[in-house]
Amino acid sequence: HLRGIVSMARSTDPDSAGSQFFIVTSDSTFLDRQYTVFAEVVEGLEIADKIVNLPRDGNDCPLEEAKMLRITTSD
C-alpha cells in the first residue's frame, strides 16, 4: 500500500468489507495482502493530507467535520 492507494475498510473478519474505504497518505506496506486495493488517488492527495493533519479528540476523530463533496472516477 503506497501513498495514494484507496482500499476497502473492514473489521477483523476478512469478509466484512462493505461501503467504507480509506486513503493511504503514507507508504504502509504492512497493509499489503490484508486489505483490497480498488483505486488510486491521482489528483488532490493534498486534501487527504489536510484531513489527516486536522486537530483530533481523544478518540482520534477530527474536531471539525471533513466531508468529500465531489469525486471523479476514470478508467
pLDDT in tens, 25-70: 999 999 999 999 999 999 999 999 999 999 999 999 999 999 889 8
- Indicate if the pLDDT at residue 17 is higher than 90: no
Instruction: Compute the distance between CA of residue 35 and CA of residue 51 in angstroms, rounded to an integer.
Output: 21
pTM above 0.85, yes or no: no
Identify which of 23, 26, 25, 21 has the alpha carbon closest to the alpha carbon of residue 10: 21
Give me the pLDDT at residue 73, please. 86
DSSP state of 15: T
The number of C-alpha atoms within 13 Å of 19 and in the hemisphere containing its C-beta is 0
The domains of the chain are located at 5-52
Q: In which band, very low, low, confident or very high, does the pLDDT at 13 lie, cut at 50, 70 and 90?
A: confident
Range among 6-20, 21-35, 61-75 with highest mean pLDDT value: 21-35
